[in-house]
Amino acid sequence: MTTIERAEVLVAGPGRNFVTLRLTTSDGVTGLGDATLNGRELAVASYLRDHVVPLLIGKDPARIEDMWQYLYRGAYWRRGPVTMTAIAAVDTALWDVKGKVAGLPVFQLLGGRSREGVLVYCHASGTDTASLVDDVARFRDLGYQAVRAQAAVPEVGGTYGVRKGLIYEPAATSLPDEQPWSTEAYLRFAPTYLEAVRDRLGFDFHLLHDVHHRLTPIEAARFGKRVEDVQLFWMEDPTPAENQESFRLIRSHTTTPIAVGEVLNSIWDVQHLITEQLIDYVRTTVVHAGGITHLRRIFDLAALYGVRTGSHGATDLSPVTQSAAVHLDLVVPNFGIQEYMEHAPETMEVFRSGVRFENGMLHPSEEPGLGVEYDDAAAERFPYDPRYLPVARRLDGSLHDW
Ligand code: KDG
Ligand code: MG
């Protein structure tokens, strides 16, 4: 019987930090899984190295579903970002292996194409309204059909989602940066820049906005209602989702579509949001929600309730996750959109990926498996360097949701 012979946890910082699991079978087939949890990377590396790798050696790599159940139920301690990211890495690597063994790209194993490409949205930002509008126009010129728009709120300086250079990277400091926040200033300003984008550039593209958990439910309801004429594709994470019930209040006040899920890790975390139709798009991802196997389960549940997919795809999700997402997006009937941020050139030196962008869409490679290779020699040049995401403080000094 073919077995898993080797499991390596690879930690490197090419442009930013990534944790990657590489499995090698007794037949010499390798598979990659992303295990990156931004700002908490080594917790997952240890979970894998110390508690999962010993369980993998000698097991049958073909039994993906059984391995998922073994790592989930067998741990006794369930759910949470660290556990679900570790399970995701194993699951993704096993799908990569299965594809290579079968000689087929993973999307073929998942049921084959439902569409020709995967519609993506990119990140436009600006330090004020004028520079934001220019940035949205620039992305439209590059062929993007969907653009997320964020601008710095004048009264509070730096704000979530505003790029410094060409690459947006919020985990930029060796201790968490402390950023000021004023809900009042945001609520006054954000609707005006979204309106300016529509006034200048029209309605023939999708416009998205990420609230990034900054509002209470009633504030989010007011925001959603205020921007209805802008016709957002979605407002993302209008309020923290620990309390799934709070979305009922937002829903009852506005027709602006709602997207939630990038920090959620399991089907149970999104169960009521989906079955009670409190959201329109579910943003759970391969890497933080238990891998391809579990994400497919979430997406299938969502399909029953008319909820579409819109997976997280920021740069802290490695090119392995990006490729796995594109394979799954190509197949599921209720696909909505995929987030896409270009990785830093250093990242792409380590992860050789066959995913390509064309006319506002991503396309997977036709190579067997996921079509991503890890370059060990390149990774050696980029050691792990601890980085934290910022925190947000209200103007009175108290901590806010970042
Ligand atoms: O690690 C956190 C980032 O991935 C997150 O802040 C990005 O909100 C985000 C998004 O929508 O891409
Ligand atoms: Mg987000």
Residue-wise pLDDT tens digits, 9-37: 999 999 999 999 999 999 999 999 999 99
* pLDDT value of residue 158: 66
CA proximity to 239, closest of 267, 263, 220, 266: 220
CA proximity to 115, closest of 356, 362, 331: 331
Single-letter amino acid code for the residue at 165: G
Please enumerate in sequence order all residues whose Cβ is within 8 A of that of 266, keeping only pairs 6 or more positions apart, or say none. 78, 79, 84, 289, 290, 294
Instruction: Indicate whether residue 262 lines ligand 1 (CB < 6 A).
Output: yes
Ligand 1 atom nearest the C-alpha of 160 is: 6
Active site residues: 160, 212
Is 38 within 8 Å of 316 (Cβ atoms)? Answer: yes
Domain extents in the chain: 4-105, 109-370
Instruction: Indicate whether residue 41 lines ligand 1 (CB < 6 A).
Output: no
Tokens 């295990």 correspond to what residue?
35
Query: What DSSP string runs through 276-297?
Result: TT--SEE---TTTTTHHHHHHH
Residue whose CB lies within 8 A of the most ligand 1 atoms, among 312, 315, 322, 402, for a mutation test: 312
* pLDDT value of residue 163: 86
Same CATH topology for 4-105 and 109-370: the answer is: no
CA distance 177 to 110: 41
What does the pLDDT look like over 259-308, one tens digit per residue? 999 999 999 999 999 999 999 999 999 999 999 999 999 999 999 999 99
Closest protein CA for atom 1 of ligand 1: 38
CATH of domain 109-370: 3.20.20.120
What does the pLDDT look like over 301-359, one tens digit per residue? 999 999 999 999 999 999 999 999 999 999 999 999 999 999 999 999 999 999 999 99
Ligand 1 atom nearest the C-alpha of 283 is: 11
Closest protein CA for atom 10 of ligand 1: 314
Handedness of CA 353, 354, 358, 360 (dihedral sign): negative
Instruction: Indicate whether residue 17 lines ligand 1 (CB < 6 A).
Output: no
Indicate the DSSP class of residue 259: E
Tell me how far the alpha carbon of residue 262 lies from the centroid of ligand 1, in angstroms.
7
CA distance 324 to 185: 39
DSSP-derived pairing of the beta strands 281-282 and 258-260: parallel
Instruction: Indicate whether residue 316 lines ligand 1 (CB < 6 A).
Output: yes
What does the pLDDT look like over 75-89, one tens digit per residue? 999 999 999 999 999
Q: Is domain 4-105 given the CATH code 3.30.70.600 in the classification?
A: no
